[in-house]
Amino acid sequence: MDIHWESELAQLLSRLSTTQQQLLSLLASKRDLLLRRDHEGLKELASEEESLSAELESCHRTRQELLDKADAAGLPSDSIQSLTAALPKEEGSTLEKPLQESLERSRLLRHESVAHWVAVQRTLLHLSHMLEIIATKGHGKPTYGKGSAAGSSGALIDQAV
């Protein structure tokens, strides 16, 4: 089994780079749509988001296959970074820049995803508070509890807390 590590890794990093850039662009569009509260626009992004997610999963499978082959060949197999570092200098040096760029984009994707998650969670919390106000007809009583003690408690579920 003669594997050309440089070309295999370069091909994987190229696919990953393209997918990451497309996903960053999609997340930027999604952020704008969230800010504008454009629910129809968000629905339209769903299929593209699923497609990019499937491509990322494919890249992950390819990565795992390469790492399994590296393990069988006696090379480091814990990460693409360690595998690249173990290649001969002339092969590994061409992959350093794309690998670092991919790691940076991955960090940006995590950051952007967390920011979206926080925004959506805050929206859900706001909606929960609105439902609470509607359920209590605007009175300051919690949804759960009996008597006047429930109004002085800050707990929603168990006034004994």
By three-state DSSP, how is residue 154 classified? Answer: coil
Which is more confidently placed, 134 or 160?
134
- Taking only the tens place, the pLDDT of each residue in 18-37 is 999 999 999 999 999 988 88
38: left (phi over 0), alpha (psi -120 to 50) or beta: beta
Instruction: Provide the b/e sequence for 121-157 (b: ≥16 CB within 10 Å).
Output: eeeeeeeeeeeeeeeeeeeebbeebeeeeeeeeeeee
Residue 59 to residue 80: CA distance in whole angstroms: 12
pLDDT digit string, tens, across residues 79-120? 999 888 888 887 778 888 999 999 999 999 999 999 989 988
User: So what's the pLDDT on residue 159?
Assistant: 54
Name the residue ranges covered by the structural domains of the chain.
Answer: 5-115
